[in-house]
Amino acid sequence: MQCYLKLLNYFYPFPRVPRFTVEVRDYDCLKTALGWAHDPVLEHDYLREYAGPADSNGSQDAEFAFTDTVKILRRCREASLLIWHDFSPNMIMDSQSKASVCAGIERLLRKHVIRAPIYHLQDSRVGIMQVPAQYAGIRD
């Protein structure tokens, strides 16, 4: 199986996001990008001990995407997965909700709340970030 990662060069109207967004073709590509030797989603013990996924999906509002992400990061452990719903850089002009979620993420980048790569699964509306140690348990 071939795996590819594509750095997105176009993210209108948010100029900083492409530096942090990597498009991956499928789940196996995401595992490769994150350097997983095994499958943490299928291995429950690994997931429970090391990486609890968090889904930011309560509202498609920029302010909610920002504040909810900050709240989640305060409770995350290193290597947790943060997953944004309605995150789609290549379809941003399709709907207000995608633009709003991406605006919230742009604000997180602009304020340096996050700097880790955000992975976008190709042809999906999902953004995924693996929480690095410096973001785990952040405080204001």
- Spatial separation of the C-alpha atoms in residues 96 and 102, rounded to whole Å: 10
pLDDT at 6 over 80: no
Of the segments 32-36, 40-44, 76-80, 129-133, which one has the largest average pLDDT value? 129-133
- The alpha helices in the chain, defined as continuous H runs, are 27-34, 44-49, 62-75, 96-110
Q: What is the pLDDT of residues 68-121, one digit of tens each?
A: 888 878 777 777 778 787 777 665 555 555 567 778 888 888 888 887 788 877
pLDDT given for residue 10 in this prediction: 34
Give residue 62's identity as a one-letter amino acid code.
A
pTM for the full predicted model: 0.61
Domain ranges of the chain: 5-135
pLDDT given for residue 119 in this prediction: 82
Residue scoring higher pLDDT (54 or 47): 54
C-alpha atoms less than 13 angstroms from C-alpha of 58 in its C-beta half-sphere: 12
Residue closest to 6 by CA, chosen among 122, 99, 86: 122
